Structure 1
Amino acid sequence: MSMAGNLRKVTGLGKVGGLRKVARLARRRPRVDLSHPARSPLGSSVVNCVTYQDGVRVPGCADLVDAVRLVRKTGEGFVWLGLHEPTDREFAGIAELFDLHPLAVEDAVEAHQRPKLEHYGDTLFAVFKSVCYVEHEQLTATSEVVDTGEIMVFVGEDFVITVRHGRHGSLGPLREELEADPQQLAKGPAAVLHAIADHVVDDYLNVTDAVQADIDQVETEVFSENGARLDPGRIYQMKRELLELKRAVVPLSRPVEDLATRPIRVVAPEIQAYFRDVSDHLIRAKEQIAAFDELLNSILQAHLAQVTVAQNEDMRKITAWAAVVAVPTMVCGVYGMNFD
Structure 2
Amino acid sequence: MEHSLTATPQNRDSRRQASGETPTLVASRVYIKGKQARDVPVDELARVAGEPDHLLWVGLKEPDAVMVGEVARQLGLDSHVVEDLQAKHRLPKVMDYDSVVLVVAMTIEVGASDGLPVYGETQMLIGRNFLLTIRRGAVAPHTELRRRLESMPDKLARGSDFIAAELIDLLIDRYNVAYDVFEKAVGNMEHSLIVRGLEGLHIKRLYQMRRDFQKMHSSIAPLGEVCRRLGHLDFTPISAAARSHFNDLSDRVSRVDRLFDNLGSGLAFAFEAGMLIEQSKQTDTTRRLAAWAAILAVPTAIAGIYGMNFENIPELKWKYGFWVITGLMTSVCGYLYYRFRKAKWL
TM-score, length basis structure 2: 0.79
- The corresponding residue for 2:289 is 318
- The corresponding residue for 2:189 is 218
- The corresponding residue for 1:243 is 214
Is the CA contact 1:114–1:251 (under 8 Å) kept in the aligned structure 2?
Answer: yes
Deviation per residue, 1:92-122 (Å, 9 max, x gap) = 1212222323343233324243100001130
- Choose the corresponding residue for 2:44, options 59, 63, 66: 66
Distance 2:112 2:188 in 1: 14
Structure 2: 5+ residue stretches without partners: 1-6, 17-21, 312-346
Matches within 5 A, 1:24-63: 44-59=23-38, 61-63=39-41
Structure 1: 5+ residue stretches without partners: 1-33, 137-142
Query: Structure 1 298/108 Cα, relative in aligned 2: closer, same or farther at 3 Å?
Result: same
Q: Any idea what SS the aligned residue of 2:50 has?
A: helix
Matches within 5 A, 1:274-293: 274-293=245-264
Distance 1:206 1:94 in 2: 33
- Choose the corresponding residue for 2:268, options 278, 283, 297: 297
Distance 1:327 1:57 in 2: 98
Distance 1:324 1:228 in 2: 31
Q: C-alpha displacement at 1:248, in angstroms?
A: 1.2
Matches within 5 A, 1:126-275: 126-134=103-111, 145-224=116-195, 226-231=196-201, 232-275=203-246
Q: C-alpha displacement at 1:39, in angstroms?
A: 7.9
RMSD between superposed Cα atoms in Å? 2.4
Q: C-alpha displacement at 1:182, in angstroms?
A: 0.9
Q: C-alpha displacement at 1:175, in angstroms?
A: 1.0
Distance 2:85 2:297 in 1: 74
Paired AA for residue 81 in structure 1: V
Larger Rg: 2
Is the CA contact 2:117–2:212 (under 8 Å) kept in the aligned structure 1?
Answer: yes
Q: C-alpha displacement at 1:316, in angstroms?
A: 0.4
Q: C-alpha displacement at 1:296, in angstroms?
A: 2.2
Is the CA contact 1:118–1:125 (under 8 Å) kept in the aligned structure 2?
Answer: yes
- The corresponding residue for 2:316 is none
Query: Structure 1 104/333 Cα, relative in aligned 2: closer, same or farther at 3 Å?
Result: farther
Deviation per residue, 1:105-144 (Å, 9 max, x gap) = 23332424310000113011110101112367xxxxxx76
Runs of 4+ in 1 over 6 A off after TM superposition: 34-40
Paired AA for residue 275 in structure 2: L
- The corresponding residue for 1:139 is none
- The corresponding residue for 2:96 is 119
Is the CA contact 2:197–2:275 (under 8 Å) kept in the aligned structure 1?
Answer: no
Query: Structure 1 96/288 Cα, relative in aligned 2: closer, same or farther at 3 Å?
Result: same
Query: Structure 1 325/57 Cα, relative in aligned 2: closer, same or farther at 3 Å?
Result: farther
Distance 1:67 1:88 in 2: 18
Query: Structure 1 121/167 Cα, relative in aligned 2: closer, same or farther at 3 Å?
Result: closer
Distance 1:104 1:332 in 2: 90
Q: C-alpha displacement at 1:38, in angstroms?
A: 6.4
Query: Structure 1 151/66 Cα, relative in aligned 2: closer, same or farther at 3 Å?
Result: same
Distance 2:292 2:235 in 1: 77
Distance 1:104 1:135 in 2: 34
Query: Structure 1 162/217 Cα, relative in aligned 2: closer, same or farther at 3 Å?
Result: same
Query: Structure 1 103/278 Cα, relative in aligned 2: closer, same or farther at 3 Å?
Result: same
Identity of aligned residues (%): 24
Distance 2:78 2:304 in 1: 90
Paired AA for residue 292 in structure 2: W
Deviation per residue, 1:269-304 (Å, 9 max, x gap) = 112222222112111112212222322222122111
Q: C-alpha displacement at 1:57, in angstroms?
A: 4.0
Is the CA contact 2:227–2:246 (under 8 Å) kept in the aligned structure 1?
Answer: yes
